[in-house]
Structure 1
Amino acid sequence: MRRSTTAVLLVLGCLLLAGCGSSLERRAVDGLVDSWTAGPFYTLPDPLPPGAPGTVVRSERLGSAPDGATAWRVLYHSRDVTGADLLTSGVVVAPDGPVPAGGRTVVSWAHPTTGTAQRCAPSVGADPFDLMEGLSDLLAAGYVVAAADYPGMGAPGPPSYLIGVTTGNAVLDAARAARAIPEAGASPRLLLWGHSQGGHAALFAGQLAPTHAPELQLAGVAVAAPATDLGDLLTADIVDVSGVTIGSYAFQAYARAYGAPLASILTPAGVTATPAMAQLCLLGQNAQLHDIAAPLVGHYLAADPTTTRPWADLLAANTPDAATLRVPLYVAQGEADTLVRPQITAAFVAAACTSGVRVTSRTFPGVDHGGIAFDALPSLIPWLAAAGQGTPQASTC
């Protein structure tokens, strides 16, 4: 706390001495204050109060909201893959100004991999809006943006990395939480948007919406470089340091959620290292992660998880099923992506087309995994508008 207080005072002092007051500087100071005061917000009430999914237990305004918008940090009820009640956290952002008749459509945004530990949650940082790909465009278009941290991040709890039902429920329940904030002016109309891990969560949210959140009027699902066939992705990625890192997040989460034994697929060194890697954030602690993961490349797996039970069954159960989507789907994929391989996304798109899903597929030459969500925005924003108005663009199948 002393270090955070000093940082806030230093920044304030610099701004006063310089006579500055720009939007960027205002948000920097307010972001430090938001971060400094965040700790108690994530402390769970004891006992845990019962509540329906999406019920807000706690909310607070964030001073670092973008210009022309109001934002809240929220703690809300959701359900995990077993159906158990849990509290998870996130952020809601709404444009300022009068709420239009009928309210604002919600875009529930699902973030890419940042880690699985509590402190890796986007809402915990000094600028929780920095990672929200397309936020300024979405606010300018009049949407309310709901951004789930995912269970186990921000609010304490077991990790949920690539556990489709748990993260998909959290994405839907974030939209419900947005509707529980009167000032946001959120309507039941819903669009889903996610990148990478977030694409996986958004696809599961799309599958689950009719049963988990039937009151929400889902109009479309948009994803960029989504994690789809988990077995194929694992096989393709485990050969390098990034694959070991991402694998550790998933293996630890599945071990905790399902009781799957790590020793049945990992080497002794891998079993020892996996919990340590799972406590490190992808952003900010990448060097430490790679220090642990690099020596394990080629020495991490003792057996193939795609053929070893229960791991093979778990990977299959947490692979999105395109055939279950009942709304239009937008998929963006960078052709230079070496993490989510283009051929795996292409196979998912083909399966969706075969199942009769109205798919708009866009590929981007030279674009890698990190850049695809931003490069997709010029085609995504009009696609969202058309889907939200019930006039989806023509399928590219």
Structure 2
Amino acid sequence: MSLTHPEILSEKRNLLAQCLKKAAVSKNGAVRKVLLAGAGVAALAFGVPQAAFAQADLPKTIPEGLKLEAAQALPITPFYTEAPSADAPTWPGGLIRAEKVTDYAIPAGMTAWRILYHSLDAERHDVVTSGFVLLPAGPAPAGGWPVVAWAHGTSGVAQPCAPSLMKDLYYGDEGLFEFPKAGLAVVATDYHGQGTPGAHQYMNKLAQGYDVIYSVAAAHAALPGVLSKQWVADGHSQGGMASWSVGEMEQQMKNPDYLGTVSVSGTVDMLDFIAPTPEEVGAPFYFPMVAYGLKARYPDFDVHSILTKDGYEHYPLIATKGCWFTGYAAYLGKTSAQIMKPNWTKVPAVQAMLKEDIMGDKPVKGPLMVLTGGGDVSVPPGGVKKTAQKACKNGIKLFFHLYPGLDHDPTMINSTQDQIAWIKDRFAGKPFEQNCGGF
């Protein structure tokens, strides 16, 4: 699978390919963005992977992490920071500006646009959010390209960590390009505070859900007649919670053009994600990002109330500059106990977040597909399955599938063709088959 033009091949892939060590189903708990370039996406048909993916060492130092991120970074231009013009719309979904992009490493024939639009935060305050639109090759069909509203997984919490500010769009080599190849347009929010000024309300299902929903309206305004009115939400990890949240929100909004949601390895059980059992391993380097998200959501919250001295040591870097690779390297070897203070989950702001992020209780509009990997040690599959079972008991009809042995990112990559097939069935109006009671 050719993902990039030769002249802009990702430095991170070249570096990581040199230190290739082990096969794709990892048990180290923090595999991300390090799949060897050139591996194909296997069509699983809900079975065992038909192709092996290779993984390599992650950065061991902060400078290494920053170097990998710099290799993909694009500058934060006035597109992201200039105030809207006086005549720009101000309602949620209102398009502020759009521009065609030529500096992304995307497959030949595809075209990309940046968008800047109004959205809402968790308290329904106006925020400005950025994102991108990725179009398939060739002319749009009658009625426009079917739309997948994409919600990305954790990229970081700082402004430079927006996927639209990365040459590979962050998920380019993790299945994202497969959607346009299959004739589906991608409308991808960055989430506000990434790309745009302001604080990113990390791991808040309301804030991220609004950003996804209103990106679709903005994309239609940017590209009139190019995109179908009908759309499906899809997301991985942090985005898996966001996309499920979209289904909940659409139950209230009752948008007839919304057709359903795919949630892949979603953080739909937040307590299981931030305080996993020892057997589930977990990834402690996410915790300072969670602290940042709490501060963004609850301004009176003091991050020192949950972060130890070691936990806070690199917090300013993560809050302002470093993204996923840097966060991983900064806390490499640190345990949850070293980063988080005892009883930190009892802090009022944490309790408020856990309550606000509850999934599986509220009805959703349209079909829901929930996928997870049996070897996922970043977002434990037990929590995902438990939430899906709870949803079924609450009358939410969904399709659930667990891919045996797959870790966090390999689940996204290896399930992409299954996602696409399911999504195309929604656009084709085929009946939805749920399997509640069967897992």
Task: Answer yes or no: same fold by TM over 0.5.
Answer: yes
Which amino acid in the other structure matches residue 39 of structure 1?
T
Residue in structure 2 matching 1:234, options 274, 286, 300 = 274
CA contact (8 A) 2:114 2:131 kept: yes
Structure with the bigger RCO (C-alpha within 8 Å, sep 6+) is: 2
Name the residue aligned to 1:321: 360
Worse-superposed segment, 60-69 or 331-340: 60-69
Change (3 A) 1:104 1:121: same
Name the residue aligned to 2:401: 362
Unaligned runs of 5+ in 2: 11-69
How far apart are the structure 1 equivalents of 2:111 and 2:358? 36
Q: Does structure 1 residue 113 correspond to structure 2 residue 154?
A: yes
TM-score for both structures, normalised by structure 1: 0.83
TM-score for both structures, normalised by structure 2: 0.76
How far apart are the structure 1 equivalents of 2:309 and 2:280? 19
Partner SS for 2:271: helix
Name the residue aligned to 2:110: 69
Change (3 A) 1:239 1:254: farther
> Which protein has the bigger helix share?
1
How far apart are the structure 2 equivalents of 1:255 and 1:93? 32
Partner SS for 1:350: helix
Change (3 A) 1:47 1:264: farther
RMSD (Å) for aligned C-alpha atoms: 3.0
Q: Does structure 1 residue 42 correspond to structure 2 residue 76?
A: no
Worse-superposed segment, 281-290 or 335-344: 281-290
Residue in structure 2 matching 1:249, options 271, 289, 294 = 289
Shift of 1:308: 3.1
How far apart are the structure 1 equivalents of 2:169 and 2:269? 29
Change (3 A) 1:181 1:66: farther
Change (3 A) 1:349 1:321: closer
Unaligned runs of 5+ in 1: 1-21
The 5-angstrom pairing of residues 314-353 of structure 1 reads 314-353=353-392
Shift of 1:50: 5.5
Partner SS for 2:275: helix
Q: Does structure 1 residue 274 correspond to structure 2 residue 315?
A: yes
Provide Cα deviations, 1:235-255, integer angstroms capped at 9, x if missing partner.
Answer: 107999963321111111112
How far apart are the structure 2 equivalents of 1:132 and 1:52? 34
The 5-angstrom pairing of residues 4-83 of structure 1 reads 24-25=5-6, 38-45=76-83, 51-63=90-102, 64=104, 65-83=106-124
Change (3 A) 1:90 1:238: farther
How far apart are the structure 1 equivalents of 2:193 and 2:311? 22
How far apart are the structure 1 equivalents of 2:127 and 2:266? 25
Which amino acid in the other structure matches residue 163 of structure 1?
N
Which amino acid in the other structure matches residue 44 of structure 1?
E
Name the residue aligned to 1:137: 178
Name the residue aligned to 2:337: 298
Percent identity (aligned): 29
Name the residue aligned to 1:126: 167
Which amino acid in the other structure matches residue 435 of structure 2?
T
Worse-superposed segment, 39-48 or 167-176: 39-48
CA contact (8 A) 1:239 1:297 kept: no
How far apart are the structure 2 equivalents of 1:235 and 1:36? 34
| Number of residues of Structure 1 aligned to a counterpart in Structure 2 | 371
Which amino acid in the other structure matches residue 185 of structure 1?
V
Name the residue aligned to 2:135: 94
Change (3 A) 1:263 1:38: closer
Residue in structure 1 matching 2:265, options 225, 243, 249 = 225
How far apart are the structure 1 equivalents of 2:329 and 2:382? 31
CA contact (8 A) 1:115 1:280 kept: no
Partner SS for 2:315: helix
